[in-house]
Each structure stands twice: as structure tokens, then as C-alpha cells.
Structure 1
């Protein structure tokens, strides 16, 4: 098995700074049309040449950020697929804690429709996987899965925007009550 080449710590740091700069700018003004590479580089306190070493353009930076966040959420959801979602609330609470810890970034990314579409697809896929594993369903019930995914997406979006005074434990219990199946 070939060894994976470790990324230069300076490159990791630069990418992190560009991502944080982009998110800060999007929190100030969610319109992508107002962004420039120069604004992002200035906010990151790096130069445009460094930006172009890592990204093709702003869309590429946003795409990579979205993919990384979806991958991290996917890892958290995979644990839920293999756990008993209803009885073991701890896994759901860990998932919700991750969402809460990243709420600022998620709030900004929800403004970008591709992120919401990817998250919805991820939720629907994991719901189907869990149901298939738990109930040995041979034919997926796409409508039920999409309704469940949409309700989870709605709960998460509401919690991040209007209901963030509620704890992850409270939200987990509410999700469990709503989705007894």
C-alpha cells in the first residue's frame, strides 16, 4: 500500500487562513458576486499568488470547503447508520454537537444552494442505508427517505438560525420523538 504524502504544514495553514477569510467575508455579505480573490487574500493576510497555488478561483475554494465539510458530516452520520439511532441518543448528540460547533460556517454555507443540495443528498442516502440495514428493505422508499431528510434539514436549519438557545440534547430528543421509525 503506497504511503500518503503528508501536506506541507505551511500549505495547510495557508488553506485554513483562506477558508476562514472566505467565511468571514461571506458572513459580512453572503453574495459571492461581491467577492474577489484580492479581498480574500487581504483578509487572510496572504497574497493572491499563494491563493492560486491552492485554488483555481473562489468557486474552487468554496467547492473544496463544501466537500470537506460534507465529508466530515458523512463520517459523523456513518456512525449513526450503524448505531440504533432511536435508542442510542449519544451518537445523535455527537452529530448535533459537531453541527453546533460549526454553526457559523454552516449558516454561511446554507446560503449556497450546492451545499444544501449536497447535505440533503447525504442525509437521504444515510437514512436509506440505515433503514435498509435495520429493516432489510430491498426496495428503497425514496419518498419516505426524502421527507425524513427534509425534516432533519429543516430542524437543523431552524436550530442554527432561530433556535440555538436549545441544547444538542434537547434537539436530539425532539428529533427522536418526531422520527420514531
Structure 2
């Protein structure tokens, strides 16, 4: 039998996580986060924080895992979705990433984010190719190059190019890789 989560504990954890994201939005870097800053932002006391997390690293690891899971699921969904064109799938993914920008800001501070995003994009490209039966001997290297450049474009867009629409970025990526 599954243990039910206490709604108060869930709400408190959400308050703590929201406080972290608010602090990041304000320009606080990960290495500047303290329990005191987080609890002050969340209007909670330190004891409450420690009821839910061992330390800041425990909190950050939980946040990172949640965000990775959400991004992974969204990209995996594109592997099984055939209702949209490749370009529309990309626009949908970019819109999703833009909507999660404040969460992704946390991940940009972890080197593993780009590695995970690279692997997810490479798997997406390879799955699409496999399903389309247009596989050539250069596809393996080609998919790695395409994945790296797409991840680079997406990362730049989320960090510095937010003034450009998802449609525009998808158009530019589509122009670079029509296949």
C-alpha cells in the first residue's frame, strides 16, 4: 500500500522550492544560496527546512532530479508523437522549455544539464531517423553534430535570446537541418 503524502509537507516543500527559484530570478547564484536566505524568502523557519531536507545540496539534488524528469518526459513524448510535423514538434518543445525557463536557470549551473539535454536530443534525432528509414553510414556522427548544435542553440536562446520567439528559433534550426 502506498503511503499518502501529507498535504502540509507537500505545500511546505513547494514553498521552499519556489523560494529557491525566486532567489535565482533575483540573481542569486547557487553557491550563494543559504538556508537562511531560502527560509526568509519562503517565510519559514530553519527548523522547518531541516524537517524536509538534510541540507541545501539535498534540496538542490531533488530540484534537479524533478526538472530533469520533466524535461526528459517532454522530449520522450516527442518520440512517440506523430501528430505534428518535425518543425511543429520542435516549436512545441521550445515553447515548453521557454515556459520552464526559471526552472532551467537552475540546471544551467550544472554541467550535467547540457550532457543530459544532448543525449535526449540525440536519441530523439536517432529515433526519428529510425522511424523514417533514412539511415546512412554518416548518420551516427551527423546525429551527434546536429544534437550538439541544437543544444547549443537552445541553451543560448534560453540564456540570452529570450527576445526571439520559439517559432523563429525553430525556423532557424529547420533551415540549418532540413533533413
TM-score range, shorter chain: 0.7 to 0.9
Tell me what 2:5 maps to: 7
Match of 1:21 among 6, 12, 19: 19
- After superposition, residues 99-110 of structure 1 pair within 5 angstroms as 99-110=97-108
What corresponds to 1:127 in structure 2? 125
Report 1:1-181 matches (<5 A).
4-83=2-81, 87-135=85-133, 142-181=140-179
> SS of 2:178's equivalent?
coil
Cα offset for 1:99? 0.9
Task: Output the TM-score relative to the length of structure 1.
Answer: 0.80
For 1:50, what is the secondary structure of its paired residue?
Answer: helix
2:67, 2:73 → 1: CA distance? 10
Using the alignment, how far apart are the partners of 2:115 and 2:28 within structure 1? 17
Query: Structure 1 stretches (4+) deviating beyond 4 angstroms?
Result: 136-142
- Residues 107-166 of structure 1: CA deviation (Å, up to 9, x unaligned): 342122233333223223333333333338699955333222211211112212332222
Root-mean-square deviation (CA), in Å?
A: 2.9
Counterpart contact for 2:16–2:39, Cα < 8 Å? yes
- CA offsets, 1:40-88, max 9 Å, x none? 1221112222222322221222222122112111222123223459834
CA distance in 1: counterparts of 2:43 and 2:141, whole angstroms: 48
Measured in 2, the distance between the counterparts of 1:5 and 1:94 equals: 35
Unpaired runs of 5+ residues, structure 2, are none
Contact 2:67–2:103, Cα closer than 8 Å, also in 1: no
Unpaired segments of 5 or more residues in structure 1?
none
Task: Give the TM-score, by structure 2 length.
Answer: 0.81
Q: How many equivalent residue pairs?
A: 179
Native 8 Å contact 2:91 2:170 kept in 1 = yes
* Aligned 8 A contact 2:24 2:105 in 1: no
- Pair 1:163–1:10, CA change in 2 (3 A): same
